[in-house]
């Protein structure tokens, strides 16, 4: 293409640039015209130069974007390299000329080898300590004026050539009259006025960028910098900061305090300070950017940067007081072995409040654990607000923030992949928010960015740049984690001995509850409990409703009666109840072939599988979908995909031949039956069958909706308990423990892998009817209290139990997915493919203060005895279950040590349990968030039952065998 044609094409394209860019140009020229009319006084010359350069660089790159489209692909890289070269030179030239705050900005950019092109890094490195020096006369004049003495009366020797010259000051080596070797830091004359003006200019530029490109709104960053940067202009402030950081890190000028909790760094001792002069002890070291000296001293750069990172982790998470300017010019390495880092320049520091320090530690650990709930809680605590509900993207961004560093050669490729991922994320936001292209370009997902974490973010970015420029790899998660954990462990009050409110302040319903609370305190003091709820009914009345402990290992909020605990396989009992509810309503039969209800299910030899086989764990599908976690764990969250896969899988054994626990497949087998028999969504059936009649709104979820995250407890995996309780390979199949009937695909390693995954919000929001119940203990206890009475709903909880059961606003905003259903009730699919029921299933039962007018609600129409026989697989239903099996039709049979069956229910792998005693009209639920495999639960069950003189389930009777063979349901 000839030059005229190229220019013509460019002009035509330029006419189509976004409207905001043209407006920006007009505003800039208006601003420049205003400044010219004022005579371009010195203080405004800087602003004109800064705005002019910003405008020309912006236009240079915008122009290049257009030219690139008209250029051969092979020549594009060369175009960009030349653009980077000329613009980097422009930036360096102006910064050197202006000095002041722009040097600080250049120093920051010079460390970002993980972000900027190499030419920027190479040129801007000169700003770290190699600026043109101020005259010796100016330096001596400032010293004598500040210290009130002549140079001869202060120093035996003063080296004329500075060691370094930076943005605010320059440093000279000197010898005091008494012979001590020192360095003298002297502030540049007039720099205060320049810095304050530069801050205004920087603020104007950021405002301009935020207006032109709203997704790049850096106002919170510049606002925080405007607050903190002026503090650097008072060297008395810097002197006190230096002393404080040195004390915090346990540093001594003549050596190191070797206590294990401290880090191995050195900090110079403060000798004397005034507002503009700072005298420090001299420490002989080499600069980090002196590669030749580092090689000659054989310094391990990896170990060096790791120790610097540890020092900052200590400052941030342990002390809550840290240096906010870790660029290479502010570090030395001692020449003498073992070559410790020397930390310099504490003018820009940040003091964090205790709450923000905890929130930052919580955010870090949430990223390490993949815990969406803790992450969103940390965001809330630090004041970070998002405009939309996309926790997976929040976790993704946080993981990027704390990602391991890479050498500069790899960093740019990483940035490209991150940019591509950001583009994908913005497309998801566009779909979720229903934005057009122009709107999504101007959409900022952050609603509020707290100033307290701006300097923290800057430090992490500077450390990342330092690692890249030193060509080393640093794992933030492994290095910083112990420090983040230490602050939470030391300040979080887990145990009742030091926390008088460890047991939640709620009414005591009975003497046995009062005794139980004392017992729980004993267990808590022994560090057996993290968080717990216990609720029990006797003869239709609440006798226990106790909550204690905290919501998670890194979440110090107290457990309340309405907290939601992940209960794993306790969920199966509720799911089984839904199947029986549909049987009671005439929607299906227990002995009916599943293929009659769910036609797609009949392939690959499953045409003879009946509903009772699935409820009784004898369908031969115990290993179905076992490999899904290895293939892609997130497939577990795709309800339609899992239903599709469960429908085509082949059984391993003949139906009814062998009882092997369907630990994972059970949920989708029952879920598919429930949806196809009812013609409704799984959650709709749960709502209609149990949530509304039991008045447990907001505390009875299988797959949580958005809006309840603040009440979620987080399960903690105790790896020591895991290894201690793992069953041995030669475990006898004749044992009474259900662990002996687990399928071959189940392993304890699988538990270790899946439990952390289950804490993620993605999984918690998924429909997993085998293992994803999020219940309060009082909601599950109410469920079993109704079951023990044949479906009669017990009276409501006392209004003195706060918050009242069923008082939470319900959030029926579950994900809409297409579900193939047999629409027996005439319901229709909406535009998203989800089922629209005839009536609003989410209308809550109105509350009333006059409980005397309540009419008994009965969930089931069948008589109590018939229901219990169906649940247990006894009486008329005995031919539908495996002889002498541990399960009836969906429920675990509970029996005494002499073998007599007295009740039914279900336990879960985390130690939670819910069951009822038919003979004594007793129902109890225990929810835990510290993995215990049932040992702790057994002690609580034994305690309560002994106080009430009730039978104890055989698995919880306290035998020595139980200790080695945990109940895994």
pLDDT bin (cut points 50, 70, 90) of residue 757 is: confident
pLDDT in tens, 809-848: 655 444 433 333 343 343 333 323 333 333 332 223 333 3
Instruction: Tell me which of 43-52, 62-71, 570-579, 865-874 is least confident.
Output: 43-52
pLDDT bin (cut points 50, 70, 90) of residue 360 is: confident
611 pLDDT above the threshold of 70: yes
* Secondary structure class of 60 (helix, strand, coil): helix
477 pLDDT above the threshold of 80: no
Tell me how far the alpha carbon of residue 629 is from its chain's centroid.
21
547 pLDDT above the threshold of 60: yes
| Nearest residue to 265 (alpha-carbon basis) of 327, 339, 195 | 339
Q: Rounded mean pLDDT of 852-877?
A: 84
Q: What is the mean pLDDT of the chain?
A: 78
Contacts (Cβ under 8 Å, ≥6 apart) of 522: none
pLDDT bin (cut points 50, 70, 90) of residue 710 is: confident
Q: Rounded mean pLDDT of 874-878?
A: 95
Residue 891 is given by DSSP the state S
pLDDT in tens, 265-316: 999 999 999 999 999 999 999 988 788 899 899 999 999 999 999 999 999 9
Polymer length in residues for the chain: 969
* Secondary structure class of 925 (helix, strand, coil): strand
What does the pLDDT read at residue 186?
A: 96
Residue 815 is given by DSSP the state P
| Nearest residue to 714 (alpha-carbon basis) of 565, 533, 569, 913 | 565
Contacts (Cβ under 8 Å, ≥6 apart) of 949: none
| Nearest residue to 316 (alpha-carbon basis) of 267, 240, 248, 247 | 248
Secondary structure, 3-state, 186-226: EECCCHHHHHHHHHHHHHHHHHHHHHHCHHHCCHHHHHHHH
* Secondary structure class of 951 (helix, strand, coil): coil
The alpha carbon dihedral of 168, 172, 176, 182 has a sign of positive
- Phi and psi angles of residue 959, each rounded to the nearest 5 degrees, phi first: -75, 160
Alpha-carbon separation of residue 73 from 67, 69, 445 (angstroms): 11, 9, 34
Judge whether 522 and 396 are in contact, CB under 8 Å.
Answer: no
pLDDT bin (cut points 50, 70, 90) of residue 212 is: low
Q: What would the two tokens of residue 118 be?
A: 């190499």
What does the pLDDT read at residue 34?
A: 41
Known catalytic residues? 325
What does the pLDDT read at residue 699?
A: 95
654-658, Cβ contacts within 8 angstroms, sequence gap of 24 or more: 654/620, 655/608, 655/609, 655/610, 655/613, 655/618, 655/619, 655/620, 656/613, 656/616, 656/618, 656/882, 657/618, 657/620, 658/618, 658/620, 658/882
Q: Rounded mean pLDDT of 604-621?
A: 95
pLDDT in tens, 24-45: 444 444 444 443 433 334 556 7
What does the pLDDT read at residue 700?
A: 96
Higher pLDDT, 197 or 264: 264
670 pLDDT above the threshold of 80: yes
Neighbours of 74 (CB within 10 A): 7
Q: What would the two tokens of residue 762 be?
A: 């993605």
Alpha-carbon separation of residue 228 from 196, 234, 455, 968 (angstroms): 11, 12, 9, 55
Which of the residue ranges 107-111, 141-145, 494-498 has the most confident prediction, judged by mean pLDDT? Answer: 141-145
Distance CA(249)–CA(643), nearest Å, equals 56
Q: Which domains, ranges and CATH numbers included, belong to the chain?
A: 1-34 (no CATH), 40-129+193-226 (no CATH), 234-491 (no CATH), 511-725+745-804+855-956 (3.40.710.10)
Percent of the chain with pLDDT over 90: 41
Alpha-carbon separation of residue 324 from 237, 320, 462, 476 (angstroms): 14, 12, 9, 17
Distance CA(768)–CA(772), nearest Å, equals 5
């Amino acid at each position: 293409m000839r030059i005229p044609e190229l220019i013509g094409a460019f002009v035509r394209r330029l006419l189509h640039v976004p409207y905001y860019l043209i407006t920006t140009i007009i505003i800039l020229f208006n601003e420049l015209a205003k400044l010219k009319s004022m005579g371009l006084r010195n203080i405004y010359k800087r602003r004109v130069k800064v705005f002019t350069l910003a405008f020309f660089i912006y236009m240079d790159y915008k122009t290049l974007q257009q030219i690139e489209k008209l250029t051969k692909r092979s020549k594009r890289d060369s175009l960009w390299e030349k653009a980077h070269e000329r613009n980097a030179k422009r930036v360096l030239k102006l910064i050197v000329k202006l000095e002041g705050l722009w040097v600080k900005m250049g120093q920051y950019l010079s460390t970002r080898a993980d972000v900027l092109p190499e030419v920027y890094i190479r040129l801007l490195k000169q700003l770290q300590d190699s600026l043109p020096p101020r005259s010796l006369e100016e330096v001596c004049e400032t010293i004598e004026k500040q210290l009130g003495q002549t140079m001869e009366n202060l120093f035996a020797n003063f080296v004329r050539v500075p060691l370094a010259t930076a943005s605010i000051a320059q440093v000279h080596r000197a010898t005091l009259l008494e012979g001590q070797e020192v360095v003298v830091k002297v502030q540049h004359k007039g720099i205060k006025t320049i810095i304050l003006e530069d801050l205004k200019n920087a603020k104007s530029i950021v405002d301009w960028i935020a207006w032109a490109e709203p997704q790049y709104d850096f106002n919170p960053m510049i606002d925080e910098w405007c607050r903190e940067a002026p503090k650097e202009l008072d060297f008395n402030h810097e002197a006190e900061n230096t002393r404080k950081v040195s004390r915090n890190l346990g540093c001594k000028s003549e050596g190191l305090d070797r206590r294990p909790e401290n880090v191995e760094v050195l900090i110079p001792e403060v000798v004397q300070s005034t507002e503009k002069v700072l005298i420090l002890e001299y420490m002989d070291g080499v600069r980090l950017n002196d590669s030749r000296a580092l090689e000659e001293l054989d310094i391990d750069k990896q170990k060096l940067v790791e120790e610097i990172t540890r020092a900052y982790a200590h400052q941030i998470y342990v002390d809550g007081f840290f240096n906010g300017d870790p660029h290479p010019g502010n570090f030395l390495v001692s020449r003498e072995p073992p070559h410790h880092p020397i930390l310099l320049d504490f003018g820009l520091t940040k003091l964090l409040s205790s709450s923000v320090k905890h929130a930052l530690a919580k955010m870090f650990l949430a990223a390490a654990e993949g815990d969406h709930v803790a992450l969103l809680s940390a965001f809330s605590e630090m004041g970070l607000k998002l405009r939309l509900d996309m926790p997976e993207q929040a976790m993704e961004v946080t993981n990027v923030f704390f990602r391991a560093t890479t050498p500069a050669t790899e960093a740019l490729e990483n940035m490209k992949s991150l940019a591509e991922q950001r583009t994908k994320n913005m497309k998801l936001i566009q779909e979720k928010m229903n934005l057009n292209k122009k709107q999504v370009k101007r959409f900022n997902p952050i609603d509020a960015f707290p100033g307290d974490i701006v300097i923290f973010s800057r430090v992490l970015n500077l450390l990342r740049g330092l690692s890249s420029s030193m060509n080393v790899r640093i794992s933030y998660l492994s290095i910083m984690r112990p420090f983040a954990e230490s602050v939470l462990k030391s300040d979080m009050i887990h145990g009742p001995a030091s926390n008088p409110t460890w047991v939640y302040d709620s009414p005591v319903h009975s003497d046995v509850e009062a005794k139980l609370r004392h017992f729980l305190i004993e267990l808590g003091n022994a560090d057996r409990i993290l968080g717990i709820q216990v609720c029990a009914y006797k003869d239709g009345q609440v006798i226990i409703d106790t909550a204690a402990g905290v919501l998670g290992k890194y979440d110090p909020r107290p457990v309340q009666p309405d907290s939601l605990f992940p209960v794993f396989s306790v969920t199966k009992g509720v799911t089984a109840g839904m199947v029986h509810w549909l049987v009671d309503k005439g929607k299906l039969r227990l002995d009916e072939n599943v293929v009659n209800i769910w036609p797609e299910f009949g392939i690959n030899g499953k045409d003879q599988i009946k509903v009772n086989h699935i409820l009784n764990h004898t369908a031969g599908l115990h290993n179905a979908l076992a490999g899904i976690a290895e293939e892609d764990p997130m497939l577990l969250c795709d309800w339609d995909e899992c239903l599709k896969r469960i429908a085509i899988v082949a059984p391993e054994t003949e139906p009814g031949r062998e009882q092997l626990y369907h630990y994972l497949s059970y949920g989708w087998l029952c879920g598919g039956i429930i949806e196809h028999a009812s013609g409704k969504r799984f959650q709709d059936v749960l709502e209609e069958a149990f949530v509304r009649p039991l008045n447990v709104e907001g505390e009875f979820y299988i797959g949580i909706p958005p809006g309840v995250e603040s009440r979620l407890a987080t399960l903690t995996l105790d790896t020591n308990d895991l290894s201690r309780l793992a069953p041995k390979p030669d475990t006898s199949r004749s044992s009474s423990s259900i662990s002996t009937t687990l399928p071959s695909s189940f392993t304890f390693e699988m538990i270790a892998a899946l439990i952390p995954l289950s804490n993620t919000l993605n999984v918690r929001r998924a429909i997993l009817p085998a293992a994803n119940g999020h219940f309060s203990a009082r909601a599950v206890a109410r469920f079993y209290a109704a079951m023990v009475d044949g479906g009669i709903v017990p009276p409501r909880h006392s209004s003195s139990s706060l918050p009242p059961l069923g008082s939470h606003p319900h959030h029926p905003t579950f994900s809409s997915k297409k579900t193939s259903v047999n629409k027996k009730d005439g319901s229709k699919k909406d535009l998203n493919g989800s089922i629209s029921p005839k009536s609003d299933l989410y209308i809550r039962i109105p509350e009333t203060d006059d409980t005397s007018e309540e009419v008994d609600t009965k969930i089931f129409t069948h008589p109590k005895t018939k229901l219990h026989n169906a649940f247990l697989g006894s009486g008329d239903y005995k031919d539908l279950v495996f002889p002498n099996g541990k399960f009836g039709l969906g429920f675990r049979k509970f029996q005494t040590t002499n073998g007599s069956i007295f009740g039914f229910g279900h336990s879960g792998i985390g130690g939670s349990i819910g069951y009822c005693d038919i003979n004594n009209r007793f129902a109890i639920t225990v929810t835990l968030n510290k993995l215990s495999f049932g040992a702790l639960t057994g002690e609580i069950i034994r305690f309560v039952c002994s106080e009430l003189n009730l039978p104890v389930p055989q698995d919880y009777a306290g035998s020595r065998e139980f200790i080695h063979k945990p109940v895994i349901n």
